[in-house]
Amino acid sequence: MGGSEVAEVRSEIVEAGGVRSPLLEAGPREASEAVVFVHGNPGSSRDWEDLVRRVGAHARALALDHPGYGRADKPTDFPYTVAGYASHLAQALERLGVERAHLVLHDFGGPWGLAWGAANPERFASATLINTGILRDYRWHLPARLWRIPLIGELGMATATRSAFRFLVGFRNPRPLPRAFVDRMYEDFDWGTRKAVLRLYRATDLGAMDDLATALEPLRRPALVIWGRHDPYLPVAYAERQREVFPEAEVVVLDGSGHWPFVDEPEEVAGALTPFLERVMSSWFRA
């Protein structure tokens, strides 16, 4: 498998749908088959830098900041909805020449990426779901419930200090998250991102998960599920439930992880991800 090899990561700016976003990429630029990493909330392409470097030694790998997050543009007229993000992902992949995508998704990147996959089944090759997926019967966690309430949500965002942010991101994590990781996310968590978060959560109907599942089930795409056992926001019980939509999914539960397994246990995540991609990718090569 050659898991120790890493590739140089390239940084550039890509424009899609009028939104300019930082892009991290490794591996062959010209490959039309790629591993596409999609961050969640809060997050950015830099969440994935280590995995882009590892996967880029064997295949084209890319990650971008999505509208409203990281250092991407945060336009007021962008549709901050699951459908809006799925459409933007389609435009970005078209711009980057990706015709066949192996999605690696985390948090809200799950609904964004899976909605893209349901709308583009001919381009959707596989899914790796990291603490995300089809969340049937899910109930919003407490911060999300507050964000969805007008004025209360704005008040919460206005009072989100660095220490409060650090507490929220690391809540019940089995080990302290690296300060540099949390501080980097907080530095990106400006008012543009905070408004995007409020609009996204208020526009999202969890009942739409059933429709998304109905669209994805017949595709029977290969899937890998990686879940931190101690996630306080997305319960670990949903890991096995991903087989309702992806019947042949491989499920890996990490006992030392919370909501951020690729930060808590990077070697374990890479050790599960790279063999899976080697099996499902037609363009995988040995460095």
Question: Is pLDDT at 205 greater than 90 in this prediction?
Answer: yes
The residue written with tokens 């999609």 in the block is: 38
Could you tell me if residue 253 is inside a domain?
A: yes
Distance CA 167, CA 60 (A): 35
pTM here is 0.97
Question: Residue type at 170?
Answer: G
Q: Give, in order, the Cα–Cα distances in Å from 49 to each of 6, 9, 40, 148, 242.
A: 11, 8, 14, 31, 26
| pLDDT tens digits along 228-281 | 999 999 999 999 999 999 999 999 999 999 999 999 999 999 999 999 999 999
Could you tell me if residue 269 is inside a domain?
A: yes
| 223 sits in which H/E element | strand 223-228
2 pLDDT tier (thresholds 50, 70, 90): very low
CA distance between the termini of the chain? 9
| pLDDT tens digits along 22-48 | 999 999 999 999 999 999 999 999 999
Please give the backbone phi and psi of residue 134, each rounded to the nearest 5 degrees, phi first: -85, 115
| 252 sits in which H/E element | strand 250-254
| Relative orientation angle of helices 162-169 and 179-188, to the nearest 10 degrees | 120
**What's the structural domain count of the chain?**
1
Could you tell me if residue 154 is inside a domain?
A: no
Domain of 261 in residue numbering reads as 10-141+206-280
- The CATH number that applies at residue 125 is 3.40.50.1820
Q: Give, in order, the Cα–Cα distances in Å from 139 to each of 136, 146, 208, 233, 235.
A: 9, 13, 13, 10, 10
Mean pLDDT value of segment 196-216: 97
* The pLDDT of residue 1: 38
**Which residues are within 8 A (CB) of 271 and not within 5 positions of it... i.e. 6 or more apart?**
3
Q: 105 is written with which tokens?
A: 């998704």
Burial of 180 (0-12, 13-18, 19+ CB in 10 A): exposed
Please give the backbone phi and psi of residue 137, each rounded to the nearest 5 degrees, phi first: 65, 20
Could you tell me if residue 272 is inside a domain?
A: yes
DSSP 165-222: HHHHHTTT-SSPPPHHHHHHHHHH--HHHHHHHHHHHHH--TTHHHHHHHHHGGG---
Could you tell me if residue 185 is inside a domain?
A: no
> Beta partners for 227?
253
| pLDDT tens digits along 101-159 | 999 999 999 999 999 999 999 999 999 999 999 999 999 999 999 999 999 999 999 99
Q: 262 is written with which tokens?
A: 């690729």
Question: Is pLDDT at 65 greater than 70 in this prediction?
Answer: yes
Question: Is pLDDT at 54 greater than 80 in this prediction?
Answer: yes
* The pLDDT of residue 3: 52
Could you tell me if residue 48 is inside a domain?
A: yes
In percent, how much of the chain has pLDDT > 90?
97
Instruction: Spell out the alpha helix ranges (H) of 109-175.
Output: 109-119, 142-147, 152-158, 162-169
Could you tell me if residue 99 is inside a domain?
A: yes
The residue written with tokens 């890998």 in the block is: 224
Determine contact, residues 199/80, Cβ cutoff 8 Å: yes
Could you tell me if residue 260 is inside a domain?
A: yes
287 pLDDT tier (thresholds 50, 70, 90): low
